Chain A
Amino acid sequence: MKRNWSKSAAALLVSVMLGGALAGCTGSPGENAASDGKLKILHNWNGSTGADAITPVEEVIKDKTGVTLEWEYTKGSETEKVNQIFATQDLPDIYTGPAWGGELDGIIKAAKEGQLVDISDKLKDYPNLAKSVAEENVPPALYEKAIGGIDGKKYLLLQNQPATNEDGMDWLYGFYVRKDIADKLGVDPQSVVTKDDFYNFLTKVKDADLQENGQPVFPLGGFSNGWAVGIGNTMFYPGASYMDKGDGTFEHSFFTKGYEEYTLFYRKLIEEGLMDPETFTQTDPIAKEKINQGRIAVLAAHYPAILDASKEYTTAHPGSDYIPIGPLERAGVEASRPVDLGIQGNNVTAITKECQGACVDDALKFLDYMASDEGFMLARYGVEGTHWKMEGGKPVADAEWFKKFNEDSTMKVRKNEGISIGLESLTGLDRINSAAGGDIWAEPARTEAMESARKILRPNGIEVISAYNPGDVITKAPEWEMLKPSMDRMNDAWEEAIFAKSDDAAMKIINDLRTQLTNTGYDKAMEFTNNELKGKEVVTVQMPN
């Protein structure tokens, strides 16, 4: 009897173990058909994080829409995440992520293969969503490629496209030097204009043999994985990925003389020890550690990132703030030209096939609410009456919360209230200035620093690009599937080239990839792109943003 019991127990355990393991390998789509008011959102931005528990902002959302939110955040590559969720069928109800690159390509592929919910017929019932994807509110090439319809059906919402020019965020990308170092060397950062000036300035920093805590100071450095040391490209070609060949047709800038000069210039910086060689392989914590130890003289990135990363060092060492260099010369562009910026929506949002029936209505109701003015301000400012209030028709931050938020460098206090947890990626057109009265949580010192940098770097103002981007058009070419892997290697090839032993070796790396591009259909794809773009205004000049 006892033996039988133990046999049965063993058999049961084995069955449970095998069954459990096999069940773990399976999954059925459309599980969230009968909605229980819970929506799982994937916020596909590397490093984004949320709150410890349901937040006051999410409580308001629950009251207004009946929806409870469950978040998932990405740690690692956003493109890999897109491919992973559809390949494994581990789908959220709502996806939101970058509105460009491999992430957007992956989402379009998913739409074509029946992984997303067609919302074409439902949009008319959700006016805020309909407005955010109206043709006049979306960059033309992006509209044709994705937002306006994929195979005749609408699947995607675009988020944070500036509603007006005043809403466009200029991140002030550039090279910034530590003020104390520039002073020590007796160089006015605004006198550094040409590429030769820039090279000479970095050489001067190196020759000064500066040390911090017994460690050498790098003349030029960046953040993790090389971000964004490569932005000096605009000194060699006009910055856009595609250039006018002079006959009204376009070619990829990778094929131009300017690209070669750009590559060899950076190779010289590496070879002569003017740029931190670890910048392409270091992690973000190591990059920030170097900045906080005062070991980077010139930083390349956008200004908010530099201000955040250097806060600790500049607080401990007054007068060591990073200030802008230049403005540096721009290749092939009149000096008086405003800076051309590609300011466009940053998120595409979609409802996946995991969400069916009532879940789709819940998701659309929630998204439409977030895209309303009320939802927009809720996501960015918090709960009205608690975190902020309206005074004279303008939102004003609560002084106590303002102090709490600004004293918390980890952002945890803000996130636990429901601000910056990803809801800001779901609020339709960006109208931070035109409808929401400006960012009420911005520190005055930071705003002042940004304004000061803006005056230096944007003497002629900015011009928001609204023309067609050939990069969006070429993806429709029949050769794209074959061509894409080679196109994806351009950045890797550039990085390998700047570390090459000689200029010839660097050019061989570039030329080998050019040959591969040609062999995989580049010429035909460009012919297709040029035909599609005939008579249209095309982006050929662009600064990083």
Chain B
Amino acid sequence: MKSKATSTPRIAGETKTTGSRLLKRIWQHKIFYLFMLPGIVWFFLFSYVPLYGVQVAFRDYTFVGGFTGSPWAGFKYFQQFFNYYQSGDIIRNTVVISLMKLLIGFPMPIILALLLNEVRQLRFKKTVQTLSYLPYFVSWIVVVTLMQRLLTPYGGPVNDLLGSFGTGPIQFLNNPGWFYQIIVGSDIWKNIGWNSIIFMAAISGIDQQLYEAAKIDGAGRFKQMWHVTLPGIRTVAIILFILAVGNLMSAGYEQLLLLNGPATASMGSVLDVHAINSGIREGRLSYAAAVGLFQSVIGLILVLTVNRIARKVGDVSLF
């Protein structure tokens, strides 16, 4: 009787009924929604509210006019960016570094999660996990200072060790020959543990019966990993990959600001640092906003494109 009533077409009351049902369901699961509330508030305040500031990219920002009262400037600042003599180099550097981080850095947490999953010694597993998470919580300024101390050719322990093997010293930092290795390597070291958490969670959600079935079929440890574990985390991996592609125009502000020097400027000048320097150091807030908006728009296009490809090819997508 109840289901019949709801299935009857009711144009005017439909929305109201659906809305009430939604509210009712939210109320039923209020504890879960309460858990979500801080996250929603955070996103609203720091991701959606600031969106109104995007208009600064199209205005001649003045202190007195602010975000909404400054005169309109059209695409003036976008033109300035594309006419800037280094804009091509900066975009190229950003894409190259981001692609390297994506292609080399993305599989690393998956590999770590797979390896950890195979460890049977629980204490060892926990120790490795904890140690691999720690760097994520250390700020880049500390990481870079540590790197400067460890890698300097003038008394740094790494070069001392190399010296004991009869090689070196090597100038690792501010050296174009080692720049990409240092950038990608330090990024992986810092994030691998943290990024592996979600894959560990996905692995733990795989039905154990699948492993047992695979064993009965004669699969060894490697084949179980290949045929059960990897397909089991495929969906999560694709979703994370789509999100990571959205950051392709953002190579990492803090890391590049600190690790890039005059010797590596031709490889390490990236959009994030250019935007921050223009805005904060030079006071060109509208220009910086234009560069930032350009990054975001490209990021959005990339996410939409990869999402569509993923949906067609792998039947997995964000939306």
Contact = CB atoms under 8 A, between A and B. Distances in A.
**A-B residue pairs, 4 tightest by C-beta:** A495-B262, A499-B263, A83-B283, A516-B85
Given A17-B41, A87-B285, A113-B64, A485 B278 contact: yes
Given A83-B280, A215-B155, A295-B154, A519 B63 contact: no
Interface in A70-107: 77, 79-80, 82-84, 86-87, 89, 102, 105-106
13 contacts: A77-B281, A80-B280, A83-B280, A83-B281, A113-B65, A114-B64, A215-B154, A280-B262, A281-B173, A482-B80, A488-B282, A512-B85, A519-B85
B152 interface: yes
A518 to B, nearest CB: 11
B62 interface: yes
A102 B281 contact: yes
B116 to A, nearest CB: 36
A385 interface: no
B33 to A, nearest CB: 12
A7 to B, nearest CB: 10
Interface string B277-301: 0111111110100000000000000
Contacts of B85: 512-513, 515-516, 519
A216 interface: yes
Interface in B65-85: 65, 80, 83-85
B60 to A, nearest CB: 10
Contacts of A492: 262, 265
Nearest to A512: B85
Interface of B: 37, 41, 45, 49, 62-65, 80, 83-85, 145, 148, 152, 154-155, 171, 173-174, 261-263, 265-266, 278-285, 287
A496 B266 contact: yes
Nearest to A484: B282
Nearest to A486: B85
Nearest to A226: B262
Contacts of A283: 145
B261 A280 contact: yes
B68 to A, nearest CB: 14
Contact of B45 (A21, A83, A216): A21
Given A86-B63, A278-B174, A516-B85, A485 B284 contact: yes
A176 to B, nearest CB: 21
A280 to B, nearest CB: 5
Contacts of A195: none
Contacts of B266: 496
A110 interface: yes
Nearest to B41: A18
A495 B64 CA distance: 37
Interface of A: 14, 17-18, 21-22, 25, 77, 79-80, 82-84, 86-87, 89, 102, 105-106, 109-110, 113-115, 214-216, 277-278, 280-283, 286, 295, 482, 484-485, 488, 492, 495-496, 498-499, 512-513, 515-516, 519
Contacts of B64: 113-115
Contacts, number: 95
A278 B156 CA distance: 13
Contacts of A113: 62-65
A512 B85 CA distance: 8
Nearest to A218: B154
B34 to A, nearest CB: 8
Nearest to A515: B85
A88 to B, nearest CB: 10
A105 B278 contact: no
A497 B55 CA distance: 37
Given A77-B281, A485-B284, 19 more contacts: A18-B41, A21-B45, A25-B49, A77-B280, A82-B283, A83-B282, A83-B283, A102-B282, A102-B283, A106-B283, A113-B65, A114-B63, A215-B154, A216-B154, A277-B263, A280-B261, A496-B262, A496-B265, A519-B83
A110 B63 contact: yes
Residue among A17, A277, A280 facing the most chain B CB atoms (10 A cut-off):
A277
A17 B69 CA distance: 29
A22 B45 CA distance: 8
Nearest to B169: A216
B284 A109 contact: no
Contacts of B148: 278, 282, 286
**Interface secondary structure of A, over-half rule:** helix
A77 B282 CA distance: 11
Nearest to B80: A482
Q: Which of B45, B145, B265, B278 has the most CB of A within 10 A?
A: B265
B96 to A, nearest CB: 18
A281 B174 contact: yes
A488 to B, nearest CB: 6
Contacts of A513: 85
B260 to A, nearest CB: 9
B63 A109 contact: yes
Q: Which residue, A83, A105, A498, has most C-beta atoms of chain B within 10 A?
A: A83
A177 B285 CA distance: 44
A295 B278 CA distance: 36
A455 to B, nearest CB: 35
A519 B85 CA distance: 9
Nearest to A498: B262
A535 B262 CA distance: 40
B4 to A, nearest CB: 34
A215 B155 CA distance: 6
A277 B284 contact: no
Contacts of B262: 280-281, 492, 495-496, 498-499
B155 A79 contact: no
Contacts of B283: 79, 82-83, 102, 105-106, 109
B308 to A, nearest CB: 36
A237 to B, nearest CB: 21
Nearest to B280: A80
B37 A14 contact: yes
A105 B284 CA distance: 12
Nearest to B141: A283
Contacts of B83: 519
A295 B284 CA distance: 41
A97 B283 CA distance: 16
B284 A115 contact: no
Given A496-B266, A519-B85, A278 B152 contact: yes
A461 B114 CA distance: 74
Given A295-B154, A512-B85, A84 B280 contact: yes
A105 B281 CA distance: 12
A96 to B, nearest CB: 19
Nearest to A293: B155
Contacts of A82: 283
B291 to A, nearest CB: 12
B48 to A, nearest CB: 13
Nearest to A481: B284
A46 to B, nearest CB: 13
Given A216-B154, A277-B174, A115 B45 contact: no
Given A18-B41, A280-B261, A498-B262, A115 B63 contact: yes
A87 B261 contact: no
Contacts of B63: 86-87, 89, 109-110, 113-115
Contact of B261 (A79, A215, A281, A519): A281
A391 B49 CA distance: 65
Contacts of B265: 492, 495-496
B282 A277 contact: no
A114 B62 CA distance: 10
Contacts of A106: 283
Contacts of B285: 83, 87
Nearest to A79: B281
Nearest to A491: B262
